[in-house]
Amino acid sequence: MNITGIDIRVLEYPLEQPFVSTWQPMPTVSHRVHIAFIHTDEGITGVGAGGVAARWDVARLFLLGQDPFAIEQHVQNMRSFAFFIGRPWALEVALWDIIGKVTGQPIYKLLGGGQQRLKAYASTGELRSPEQRVEDAQRLRDEGFRALKLRFHRANPRDDLRVLEAVRKAVGDS
């Protein structure tokens, strides 16, 4: 089996409100996702999605004509060129999807199985005031979450510490 083609579709939609994340310097006003379709000479198409653009033309050079089952080599190549062209991980998911379709297994089983039960936690992404974050934490606790991941990245780390202190005081070790 060989890879015969790679198609990328970009989907984008506006957000109702700008999202001010901790990891980007400017607010995000839309959400964009790249859907990768990897086609094989046996008519199997793997599908993967990722949120970051990559130089798909360069990625094609590494994959066209190759065996999709050579996943370790493909991942190693992607890691080496990701620095220069972006994050092509939608392609890795699409390769695993091909392998899963051929073997009749879901990807999670190919990666070692899964747990029947997994404790969920809530994760934050926006920079918010201590009061807003306390409201968020209380609402999430009331919804049943017992763990909360707070992201920080203000210009003054003491401002981040104030948010953490306010949340700890409000919800403790819920």
- The domains found in the chain, sorted by start residue, are 3-110 (3.30.390.10), 122-171 (no CATH)
pLDDT value at residue 82? 67
114-149 pLDDT, tens per residue? Answer: 777 778 899 998 888 999 999 999 999 999 999 999
Percent of the chain topping pLDDT 90: 62
Mean pLDDT, the chain, whole residue set? 90
| Number of residues written out for the chain | 174
CA neighbours closer than 13 Å in the CB half-sphere of residue 73: 7
The pTM of the full predicted model, rounded to 2 decimals, is 0.74
Tell me the range of 1-10, 54-63, 110-119 where mean pLDDT is highest.
1-10
57-75 pLDDT, tens per residue? Answer: 888 888 999 999 999 999 8
Of the pLDDT bands very low, low, confident and very high (cuts 50, 70, 90), residue 165 is very high
- Helices 71-85 and 56-63, packing angle to 10 deg: 160
